[in-house]
Homo-oligomer: A and B are copies of this chain.
Amino acid sequence: MPDLLTIGELSARSGVAPSALRYYERLGLIRADRTGGNQRRYARAELRRVAFIRISQQVGVSLDEIRAALDSLPEARTPSPQDWARLSASWRSRLDERIRLLAKLRDDLDGCIGCGCLSLQRCALNNPEDTLAGEGPGARLVLPQPADAPTPAGPFNCRPTPAGV
């Protein structure tokens, strides 16, 4: 009746490699029962957790934060629709922000492509609020902008640099 899934089945149904599932388990993102012979058996509810993990990654959330979010689920009972809705909603503003910054970048790029300043200079870069914080899903590779960096004096400016450089 519990209808447990093997790691291969969970992998097939979720599209996540078995090695990744084991990795998620090590990090405490999902859990599995074991057979007498020590093989993993997943409750169907884990499928939902895996789905949530992958969605969250698309939103740009790190596994560590996802773990924290999942930890906030009730332990006693199987999470309800509302529980999942709450978690999903918690990413909403991040997603909005990410979209907003990308849209701004696109507009800046468009503006710059047309103008004499050539693009890139003050338009998209000279704008401190414009740092796409917490962008990348994985390594925090995208312009981490340490925040303690004193916003470089005059990073770039539009003046076409007399020599036309």
Contacts and interface: CB of A to CB of B under 8 A. Distances in A.
Interface string A125-149: 1000000100111110111010001
30 contacts: A13-B152, A13-B153, A13-B155, A44-B163, A45-B165, A48-B120, A48-B121, A51-B120, A51-B156, A52-B120, A54-B125, A57-B142, A57-B143, A58-B102, A58-B124, A58-B143, A59-B105, A81-B116, A81-B118, A85-B112, A85-B113, A88-B119, A89-B109, A92-B110, A95-B105, A95-B106, A135-B137, A136-B141, A138-B141, A139-B141
Interface residues of A, number: 67
A72 interface: no
A154 interface: yes
A130 B153 CA distance: 41
A134 to B, nearest CB: 12
